[in-house]
Amino acid sequence: MNKLKMENSLYMCPPGPHAVLLVIVLGTAINAKYQRSLQDHMSLFGDDVWKYTIILFTRPDWLGVKTVEERIESDEGLQWLVNKCENRYHVLNNLEPNNREQVKVLLEKIEEMWAENDDPYYEVDQRRAAEMETLREDADKRAKKMKKIIERQSRVLKEIFKEERQSLSELRVVLLGQKGSGKSAAGNRILFMEKIEDFKKDNEDQRVSVKHQGDFDGVKVSVVEAPGCYKNTKAPDWLKHEVHRSVSMCDPGPHTFLLVVPVHKSFTENDHREFVELLKPFTEKVWAHCMVLFTRGDWLGKHSIEDHIVREGKALQELLTKCDNRYHVFCCDCSDNPAPVKDLLQKVIDISTRNRGCFSHKDKQKKTSFLPWKKKQLTVTEEWKKREQMLIDKMMRALANEPDKTGIPSVEVARSMDEFVIPNMSGDVISEYGSISGLQRAHKNVSEWLKQRTRFSDVTSGIYSVSSASSHVEEFHENPSLDLK
């Protein structure tokens, strides 16, 4: 998105800019990395742009008694940059904002540059300008479409699970992300810690997972920050071990994995691959418990997070797809505002509700062998849960593929021939369940079937009876003080 905005800036002053001012703080060291960055940024405008570029140095007070020329001579990177601009540069003193003379001299240097060039301004490619406008309009449409789809999916899911919303006495989350992604700041933000360095203090060697606990409206909140590695480097084995340990620190398991992604940095295929590798030991089921937490949301300015997602590229979109388009945004300029944290924790509760509990990597089956009737009941129960989830997933895909239609795609829940037949939830045939209320009836139909199946079985002890979709999972206690709806 940043690259597109930069390139588009040339077309905001037709027929083209008279000058491009490359602003450099005099204290900046133009090392090899910075030099590559400058080349990449300027290449967006074409090779000829250097003929119309003047270096605008700022903060000359940093030099002390040293002159600008001495500063240039002391830095090979600066020498390269000045040569690239054919020795055109100017200094603006920030400590003298009312000094009109320094602006007058700058304009005179721009006029001298005009005289040296064949054209007084850098002529832009009008075909590219039209292409940029088309790209911008297309991206705006896709961002609006994405937001509409997600809002619609969210409404449908709330309707489906509105009778099963859980009140949790404790929330457990694990933060994953690279160094510098904002994990520590996010952890402190969630827990409203007084000192922003609390997580960093406990993680000075940056190779150990850190756990902190707090309280939000009477709910105990546990946050575990796993260590991260540097961008574009392969995750070492010790990091994979620490990620596994961070899950064990959230016994019996985390409700959500927050994948921390800063919006002010590019998200590459390597970044996506790193998250996949770190979570691979937990199998594919872990992605149902994952959500992307965007940090530095203030960098977006007036743009929405959806604008950023559709423009950032395939890698970020693939990560969000694996997380079923679950995401949240934290800004740096509202750290004292509890609303973003409240919204985040509500999303964690929604994830737990849909998954009917927290994530657990442990084998749920006991070592002792089950009796035949109990094995049969477990099989029926798991089959029901699997088919219900397939139905919900198909609903979500249908909503994504047909975002402009007001009706909900039809699904089929065939009536059981008897209490021993598992309902058909394939969704391939149109039936009466063609609305949210219809889906709820389908949902209740399967629930009632399962109750009957249990009631008419040989089991009467109630040891493994099922009363609703939220049964046989971690017990959640009522907490009247928490109302995040």
What pLDDT was estimated at residue 156? 79
Nearest CA among 52, 22, 27, 56 for reference residue 39: 22
Find out whether the peptide bond into 15 is cis, omega within 30 degrees of 0. Answer: yes
Q: For residues 456 and 377, is the Cβ–Cβ distance under 8 A?
A: no
Strand 89-92 vs strand 53-58: parallel, antiparallel, or unpaired? parallel
CATH ID of 17-116, from 3.40.50.1000, 3.40.228.10, 3.40.50.300, 3.30.565.10: 3.40.50.300
Q: How far is CA 203 from CA 179, 290, 397, in A?
A: 12, 23, 41
Taking the C-alpha atoms of residue 112 and residue 305, their distance in angstroms, rounded to an integer, is 43
Taking the C-alpha atoms of residue 170 and residue 250, their distance in angstroms, rounded to an integer, is 11
Place of tokens 């002890």: 461
Strand 210-216 vs strand 53-58: parallel, antiparallel, or unpaired? unpaired
Put simply, whether the predicted model's pTM sits higher than 0.75 gets the answer: no
Taking the C-alpha atoms of residue 182 and residue 261, their distance in angstroms, rounded to an integer, is 8
Where in the chain are the domains? 17-116, 167-355, 372-455
Place of tokens 């609390």: 198
pLDDT tens digit at each of 485 positions of the chain: 777 788 888 888 888 889 999 999 998 889 998 999 899 889 888 888 999 999 999 999 888 888 999 999 999 999 999 999 999 999 999 888 889 999 999 999 999 998 888 888 888 777 877 887 888 888 888 888 888 888 887 787 777 777 666 677 889 999 999 998 999 999 988 987 654 455 555 545 567 889 999 988 888 999 999 998 877 777 788 888 899 999 999 989 999 999 999 999 989 999 999 999 999 999 999 999 999 999 999 988 888 999 999 888 899 999 999 999 999 999 876 667 888 999 999 899 989 888 888 998 764 444 445 456 555 555 666 677 777 777 777 777 777 776 554 444 434 333 333 333 434 444 433 333 344 555 555 555 555 544 454 444 333 333 223 333 333 333 333 343 444 44
Residues in contact with 22: Cβ distance below 8 Å, sequence separation at least 6, in sequence order: 38, 42, 53, 54, 55, 56, 81, 85
CA Rg value for the chain: 29
Burial class (CB in 10 A: 0-12, 13-18, 19+), 331: middle
What pLDDT was estimated at residue 469? 34
What pLDDT was estimated at residue 16? 85
Q: Which amino acid is at 205?
A: D
What pLDDT was estimated at residue 171? 92
For 163, the token pair is 């009778």
Taking the C-alpha atoms of residue 322 and residue 305, their distance in angstroms, rounded to an integer, is 18
Residues in contact with 275: Cβ distance below 8 Å, sequence separation at least 6, in sequence order: 176, 259, 319
What pLDDT was estimated at residue 454? 42
Nearest CA among 146, 192, 131 for reference residue 344: 192
Q: For residues 132 and 11, is the Cβ–Cβ distance under 8 A?
A: yes
Edge to edge, what strands does the sheet with 20-25 contain?
20-25, 53-58, 89-92
Instruction: Say if domain 167-355 classifies as CATH 3.40.50.300.
Output: yes
For 456, the token pair is 């008419």
Quick check: do 17-116 and 167-355 share a fold?
yes
Nearest CA among 326, 325, 317 for reference residue 347: 326
For 28, the token pair is 């900046």
What pLDDT was estimated at residue 381? 66
Taking the C-alpha atoms of residue 311 and residue 2, their distance in angstroms, rounded to an integer, is 9
What pLDDT was estimated at residue 278? 93
Find out whether the peptide bond into 252 is cis, omega within 30 degrees of 0. Answer: yes
Taking the C-alpha atoms of residue 73 and residue 30, their distance in angstroms, rounded to an integer, is 12
Nearest CA among 246, 194, 207 for reference residue 224: 246
Phi, psi of 256 (to 5 degrees): -150, 145
SS3 content of the chain, % helix, strand, coil (to 5): 50, 10, 40
What pLDDT was estimated at residue 473? 31
Cα 414 versus chain centre, distance: 38
Taking the C-alpha atoms of residue 313 and residue 280, their distance in angstroms, rounded to an integer, is 23
